[in-house]
Amino acid sequence: MKNQELIPHLFRTEYRKIVSVLCKRFGFGQIETAEDIASDTFLTAAQTWAYKGAPPNPTAWLYKVAKNKARNHLIRNLTFETKIAPQIAASPGVEDVMEIDLSPQNISDSQLQMMFAICHPALSPGAQVGLALRILCGFGIDEIAEAFLSNKETINKRLYRAREKLREEKIKIEFPGTAEIEERLENVLTTIYLLFSEGYYSVSQNQTLRQDLCLEAMRLCTMLIENKSTCKPQVYALLALMYFHASRFEARINKNGELVLYDDQDTGLWNMELISKGAYYLKCASVGAVLSKYHLQAGIAWWNTQKADTEEKWENILQLYNRLLQLDYSPVAALNRTYALSKANGKTEAIAEAEKLKLIDNQFYFALLGELYAGIDNEKAKQNFEKAFSLAKTQADKQAMQNKINKL
């Protein structure tokens, strides 16, 4: 791999590890310093490798440079006189004080502890996702801005306010206590799923970015699975849900970048390997007495990966939606339920239920009404597709609605 490809790849995989370890070592009071040291490490790599070529073990090289930069920072910030600092730095035992632990175990622990810190209830959901993208996923400001359909200045301000909040609240980078972990874990899972949704339901036309967002969310969830303190049924259920969704990623968007509705998807594009992994994690989730929203959503997603359009499939999906709405009501889930209702009980009943929702600012609400009215009242179908067209945020979505109108 050439340097121009290697360094961006390593930045994505190693920046987050270095920042997490340094933040844990320095505390959130010096979070910018941790990020600066990590960024400066990659700048040094770009400058050095351009002349000397990449070393045999690039990751080890990055860790050594990051350790040295962090150690120099610690020495410079000793609260002694400048003349005394070199003596302290050379004194016995100082290596232990200055040591930066970039061992695999500490990297893993630091990232998990950072995950819980970032997902603290004191931060807004948007701030949590933004910090997760920056610190836990190694996304650049440009990428985060595109993910949020925003600009660099806005994202920088948002991240600055989030960091300030972490400092004000004196949030520590550590695992919650055993009694608190279940409550805090729910917040972590919410943030991970929001991150996944930013990719899966993104209106960005950057296909690579959209998939990367989903993969990063799945990676973070896998880290929770690999730790015995956070390896809970609801975590398995969320991971299963994301695998099922990801299995249909290629089928949801056509070659023109237009959203393809479920009935129109090419099932040959569904990824059977990801479906199989999702089924494995869903089985792992089926222990204990707690039924979470992720269990129900994963069950719905599993049925949606079954290609046969049977009465059993849609009746099961409908019943799962009924239980989900009782457990954790949301307008989006209610909207999705009406689609399952149309499949199980017919369009007429589904139209009556859908119109009760009155999601007048939601393009998908009108797109679904258009589908439900098609073949029953094509004029109403057209009116709803036109409304969905007017609310669509991308040209591709507008074209998809125009195609529906043309087919009437």
Summarize pLDDT for 303-346 with one digit per residue, the tens: 999 998 899 999 999 999 999 999 999 999 999 999 999 999 99
What per-residue confidence (pLDDT) applies to 261? 79
Q: Is residue 381 part of a domain?
A: yes
The total number of structural domains that make up the chain: 2
Quote the CA–CA distance of 202 and 277 in Å, as a whole number: 24
For residue 94, pLDDT beyond 60: no
Q: Is residue 50 part of a domain?
A: yes
What per-residue confidence (pLDDT) applies to 163? 92
From 102, 118, 140, the end of a domain falls on 102
For residue 204, pLDDT beyond 80: no
Can you give the pTM of this predicted structure?
0.87
From 102, 122, 157, the end of a domain falls on 102
Q: Is residue 74 part of a domain?
A: yes
CA 244 to chain centre: 15
Spatial contact of 235 and 225, defined as CB atoms under 8 Å apart? yes
Return the closest-CA partner of residue 67 out of 14, 5, 2: 14
User: CB under 8 Å to 132, separation ≥6 — which residues?
Assistant: 115, 118, 119, 191, 192, 195, 220
Quote the CA–CA distance of 192 and 301 in Å, as a whole number: 17
Task: Tell me which residue range forms the domain holding 369.
Answer: 359-408
Q: Is residue 26 part of a domain?
A: yes
What per-residue confidence (pLDDT) applies to 258? 74
For residue 84, pLDDT beyond 70: no
User: Residue 318: what residue type?
Assistant: L
Q: Is residue 264 part of a domain?
A: no
Q: Which of the pair, 94 or 11, is modelled with greater confidence?
A: 11
Q: Which of 83-97, 166-180, 247-261, 343-357 has the lowest mean pLDDT?
A: 83-97
Q: Is residue 236 part of a domain?
A: no
Q: Is residue 98 part of a domain?
A: yes
Spatial contact of 100 and 70, defined as CB atoms under 8 Å apart? yes
From 51, 80, 102, the end of a domain falls on 102
Spatial contact of 364 and 335, defined as CB atoms under 8 Å apart? yes
For residue 207, pLDDT beyond 80: no
For residue 92, pLDDT beyond 50: no
User: Residue 73: what residue type?
Assistant: H
Quote the CA–CA distance of 96 and 92 in Å, as a whole number: 9
Q: Is residue 162 part of a domain?
A: no
Spatial contact of 365 and 383, defined as CB atoms under 8 Å apart? no
